[in-house]
Amino acid sequence: MNRRPTLRDVALEAGVAVSTVSGILNNRSDSWASKETRERVQAAASRLSFVPNRLARGLRLNRHNVAFAVLPDLTNPFFAGLARNLRVAMESNGYELLTEETEFQKERESRILAGLPTRYIDGVVAAIGHPSDHHDILMKLPQTFPIVLLGPAAKPVKLDSVGSDIKTGIAEAMLHLKDLGHRDIGFVDSLAGLADPIQRYPLHRELAGKAGFRISDSSWVHCTNDLHQIRHAVRNWAQHLAATKRPTAVFCTNDLTALAAMRGLEDAGLSIPQDMSVVGFDNIALGEHLHCPLTTISQPIETIAQLASDILLGRITGQRVGAPANILIPTRLLIRSSTVRAPRRSR
């Protein structure tokens, strides 16, 4: 047979009706075929190398058993790990997971979100910069099309969301630094001008002010999301700031930023943590294995992925109805060698 075998071919081979073959091969609950008939149909399908047409089945049933993940940066181990955990959770329920990367670009986010209804997918898990910026696009999606946002709930967008309690985590890390005697802190913002789901820069400034830290515009490094650029920007910043004006500790956008920032500080002749304490965010595996293990705020990546998948599957199958679920999961401060008591210095 040169053409692709059909249900009708399998039915003829097995000597049964097409509807019987369809019920058996699609595992329909209304199929009452005997064990003998099932075995005969499956053997016929095997002999003919029959492969179900999933696209046609999905169009007929309005279900494709395919989910979609929209994530910012798959080169970052945190988001790569998140994608992996989402895939495992979805596959364990019989769903494939497709993934798209936005590179923290608002335009890419808009284009991907606007194109969702044209894809053969059943629902979406999305980490996007500012959901409120995409309010019109999100609200135009069919009400029967489930989407779960990764991150804090964003008003006025009324959608399911799962995220970490990042604000409390950062506040806890600031208290840790304050207990170590730090009074001047900085921030390496590697998502300057990009679609940051957490909006870390204004959040750090807000929490630093509330915690009583001295804040200066010269203490904040804004750079691109490129490891070489981060290292270069931090080196220049550290070299051009007088020692008495330099913070004694810096927060970084994420752990990858912290790794590059640490190299930049060392390029400028500073020792970590003796001259500068460093705090990361995400708890990627590499951070624990540096020559100076990184203090970081850990997000429960497995829990986030599992809860997001559970909510999405519940919406797809209709088992979850009602108001959106907005879940915040506690973070955990992991104190390692990169944070120590603030150095004494004259002012």
Neighbours of 257 (CB within 10 A): 30
> Would 340 be classed as within a structural domain?
no
Residue 277's pLDDT is: 98
Share above pLDDT 90 across residues of the chain, in percent, rounded to a whole number: 58
Residue 108's φ and ψ, nearest 5 degrees, are -65, -40
Give Dmax over CA atoms of the chain in angstroms: 93
CA separation for the pair 82, 97 (Å, rounded): 12
Taking the C-alpha atoms of residue 129 and residue 201, their distance in angstroms, rounded to an integer, is: 13
What local confidence, expressed as pLDDT, does residue 54 receive?
Answer: 57
Residue 1 in any domain: the answer is: no
pLDDT, residue 319, reads: 92
pTM of the model: 0.81
The reply to whether 94 and 178 lie within a common domain is no
How much is the pLDDT for 251?
96
Residue with tokens 């004494």: 344
Is residue 82 predicted with pLDDT exceeding 90? yes
Q: Are residues 190 and 212 in the same domain?
A: yes
Averaged pLDDT, 50-57:
60
Q: Are 156 and 135 in contact (CB under 8 A)?
A: yes
Angle at CA of residue 159, ends 155 and 165, nearest 5°: 65
Provide the terminal-to-terminal Cα distance of the chain, rounded to the nearest Å.
Answer: 87
Mean pLDDT, range 171-185, rounded to an integer: 96
CA 286 to chain centre: 18
| For residues 55-69, average pLDDT | 66
Per the domain annotation, does 347 fall within a domain? no
Q: Render 238-257 in DSSP notation, one character per residue.
A: HHHS-TTTS-SEEEESSHHH
Q: Are residues 82 and 101 in the same domain?
A: yes
The single-letter DSSP state of residue 286 is G
Q: Note whether 309 and 221 are same-domain residues.
A: no
Residue 335: inside a domain, yes or no?
no
pLDDT at position 306, please? 97
- Tell me: pLDDT of 59 over 50: no
Identify whether residues 245 and 188 lie together within a single domain: yes
Q: What is the pLDDT of residue 270?
A: 96
Amino acid at 342: A
Structure confidence at residue 101 (pLDDT): 94
pLDDT at 168 over 60: yes
42-51, 103-112, 216-225, range with the lowest pLDDT:
42-51
Buried b (16+ CB within 10 A) or exposed e, 211-226: eebebeeebbbebbbe
Residue 344, in any domain of the structure: no
Q: Is residue 334 part of a domain?
A: no
Residues 314 and 237 in one domain: no
Range of weakest confidence among 40-54, 278-292, 304-318 = 40-54
In which order are the strands placed within the sheet that holds 147-150?
96-101, 66-71, 123-126, 147-150, 160-164, 326-329
Lookup: tokens for 157:
């967008």
pLDDT at 346 (0 to 100): 47
- CATH code for the domain in which residue 310 is found: 3.40.50.2300
User: At residue 246, what is the residue type?
Assistant: R
Helices and strands, counts by H and E, the chain:
12, 12
Residues with Cβ < 8 Å from 295, sequence gap 6 or more? 173, 176, 277, 278, 279, 280, 333, 334, 335, 336, 337, 338, 339
State yes or no: pLDDT of 172 exceeds 60. yes
pLDDT attached to residue 345: 65
Range of the domain at 275: 166-299
Least confident of 56-60, 80-84, 99-103, 224-228: 56-60
Assign 347 a pLDDT band (cuts: 50, 70, 90): very low
Predicted confidence band at 26 (pLDDT cuts at 50, 70, 90)?
A: low
Average pLDDT over the chain, rounded to an integer: 88
Give the per-residue pLDDT at 36: 86
Question: Is the confidence at residue 62, as pLDDT, over 90?
Answer: no
* 279 & 316 share domain: no
DSSP state of 343: P
CA distance 4 to 2: 7
Residues 141 and 221 in one domain: no
SS3 content of the chain, % helix, strand, coil (to 5): 45, 15, 40
Measured CA to CA, the distance from residue 67 to residue 236 in angstroms comes to: 44
Residue 227 lies in a domain: yes
Amino acid in position 301: I
Q: Which amino acid is at 96?
A: E
Residues 287 and 325 in one domain: no
pLDDT, greater one: 247 or 94:
247
d(CA 167, CA 228): 28
Looking at the domain assignment, is residue 343 inside a domain?
no
Residue 34's contacts (CB-CB under 8 Å, 6 or more residues apart) are none
Identify whether residues 154 and 174 lie together within a single domain: no
Residues 192, 291, single domain; the answer is yes
- Can you name the residues that pair with 188 across neighbouring β-strands? 221, 252
Distance, in Å, from the CA atom of 302 to the CA atom of 247, rounded to the nearest integer, reads: 34
Same domain, 154 and 29: no
φ and ψ of 214, to 5 deg: -75, 130
What stretch of H or E contains 327?
A: strand 326-329
C-alpha 204/C-alpha 170 separation (Å) is 8
- Looking at the 3D structure of the chain, how many domains does it have? 3
Q: Using CA atoms, how far apart are residues 123 and 340, in angstroms rounded to an integer?
A: 46
CATH number where 31 lies: 1.10.260.40
